[in-house]
Amino acid sequence: MKDLCLLNSKYKYSERTFHFVWYVYKRKKHKLIVTMLKPLLDKLNTMRVILASSSPQRKLILESTSLQFEVHSSNFEENLRPEDYTFSEFVEETALGKVADVYERLKGDTRKPDIIIGVDTMVTLDGRMYGKPQTREEAIETITKLTSAGIPNVVYTGVVIKYRENIEKFTAVTTVYMGKLTKEEIIAYVDTGEPMGKAGGYGIQGIASTFVERIEGDFNNVIGLPLYQLTQKLKEIVNR
């Protein structure tokens, strides 16, 4: 793992080649997505759509669809008591708080938002919630637990969509199976900085993919935005 974390500093040419191939692949995939979603995009792109999130990962996922949207970070204080909610209720209520906060700031605009999308993600293991680690030590502790438990962790993402005066919400669930890591590997991973700012302290789209054995469910959900379910819900909303 330590060697893998340092890979970028060793093979510059290979890295450039990889990123070029990946860029070409993503461009082709992007064109296919846009073609497939054109009827939906034709409707959505006449509306003012807001993503109430500061997450760069969520922004990138949504941008992959060619949806025209604005990003407005929420100032909602995420201080709900976990013991008062089920996992699904917790992420949905937090997402709802983000939507409400952004709506209050934008409702006085000349052109009011048509759609506001709020999202919250958390990782659970053996009945306990894991959010974003606040310190290096907390990140080490979290990754140690996730990779040594012998059971999968489960990712919950709550999505709330405010469409004019209506509220729609759902939760996507993905099960993640991780391999075991040594203490040295865990420290090397944490010291890359990748765990910070991510629920559960890992980024499956990054270096963490080297110790994720498999998943059951939506890959994008683990990153932070369940694109399939979001797309289906938006289709349902605009076609009513």
Q: Among all residues, which ones are annotated catalytic?
A: 120
Contact yes or no for 162/101 (Cβ under 8 A): no
Total Cβ atoms within 10 A of residue 44? 22
Parallel, antiparallel or unpaired: strands 115-125 and 49-52? parallel
Contact yes or no for 94/68 (Cβ under 8 A): no
Percent of residues in the chain assigned helix, strand, coil, to nearest 5: 50, 20, 30
In order, the DSSP letters of 5-49 are: HTGGGT-HHHHHHHHHHHHHHHHHHHHHHHHHTHHHHHHHTTS-E
Residue 176's H or E segment, with its range, is strand 166-178
Contact yes or no for 161/115 (Cβ under 8 A): yes
Residue where the block lists tokens 């080649």? 17
Three-state secondary structure call for residue 69 = coil
Total Cβ atoms within 10 A of residue 23? 10
Backbone angles phi, psi at 13, to 5 degrees: -65, -45
